[in-house]
């Protein structure tokens, strides 16, 4: 469990697989700026969560608020095995948005990854139109590093430009939320 002040993040377990699969297949959850199509089966998620081989170290979390309600999902994974680039992603259920949950989840993942891995940077990608996600990344002290032209396939079937954000270990300096 990764413990914050507004949210806690616990690893997705076998019992969460149907719920999290439904979330990830629901356009209301993934939103209009996310990759399309992003359908996933329970078996795909089970392999990622329970399987013995996970070369990308893909790790899924349920975000819970202080009432222990499940309010969203987050993950980290290796985006480039060559360079050991670790990337974060997140989504919050519509009725729980705008309460700082995604911001805190991103900050917690950044603290956790820098504290547990010998890596120089953490990154995230987003659609250039995803204003709320951009705010989350900037709230988490990530810096815009570049544009990814025609990188994200979105509804109703067109390529959208993306943005890449990153935070270096020097930018981070010390944990913001997690205790050392």
Ligand X SMILES: CC(C)(COP(=O)(O)OP(=O)(O)OC[C@H]1O[C@@H](n2cnc3c(N)ncnc32)[C@H](O)[C@@H]1OP(=O)(O)O)[C@@H](O)C(=O)NCCC(=O)NCCS
Question: Least distance to ligand X from the beta carbon of 93, Å?
Answer: 8
What's the half-sphere exposure (Cβ side, CA atoms, 13 Å) at 177?
21
**Residue 31 lies near ligand X (rule: CB under 6 A):** yes
Spatial distance between the Cα atoms of 117 and 130, rounded to a whole number of angstroms: 29
What's the half-sphere exposure (Cβ side, CA atoms, 13 Å) at 146?
5
Binding-site string for ligand X from residue 124 to residue 153, where x marks contact by CB under 6 A and - marks none: --x---x-xx-xx--x--------------
Tokens of residue 64, six digits: 């819970």
Spatial distance between the Cα atoms of 26 and 38, rounded to a whole number of angstroms: 9
Residues 43-102 close enough to bind ligand X by CB under 6 A: 89-92, 97-102
**Residue 107 lies near ligand X (rule: CB under 6 A):** no
Query: Which one, 78 or 93, has the nearer CB to ligand X?
Result: 93
What's the half-sphere exposure (Cβ side, CA atoms, 13 Å) at 15?
2
Residues found near ligand X in the complex (CB under 6 A): 30-31, 33-34, 89-92, 97-103, 126, 130, 132-133, 135-136, 139
């Amino acid at each position: 469990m990764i413990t914050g002040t507004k949210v806690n993040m616990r690893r997705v377990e076998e019992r969460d697989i149907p719920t999290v699969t439904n979330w990830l297949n629901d356009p209301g959850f993934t939103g209009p700026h996310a990759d399309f199509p992003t359908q996933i089966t329970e078996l795909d998620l089970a392999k990622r969560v329970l399987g013995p081989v996970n070369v990308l170290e893909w790790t899924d979390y349920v975000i819970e608020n202080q009432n222990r309600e499940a309010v969203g999902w987050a993950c980290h994974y290796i985006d480039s095995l060559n360079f050991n680039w670790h990337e974060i992603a997140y989504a919050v259920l519509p009725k729980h948005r705008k309460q700082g949950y995604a911001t805190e989840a991103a900050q917690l993942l950044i603290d956790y990854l820098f504290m547990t891995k010998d890596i120089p940077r953490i990154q995230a990608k987003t659609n250039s139109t995803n204003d709320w996600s951009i705010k989350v990344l900037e709230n988490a002290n990530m810096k815009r590093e570049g544009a990814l032209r025609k990188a994200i396939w979105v509804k109703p079937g067109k390529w959208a430009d993306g943005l890449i954000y990153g935070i270096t270990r020097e930018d981070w300096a010390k944990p913001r939320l997690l205790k050392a």
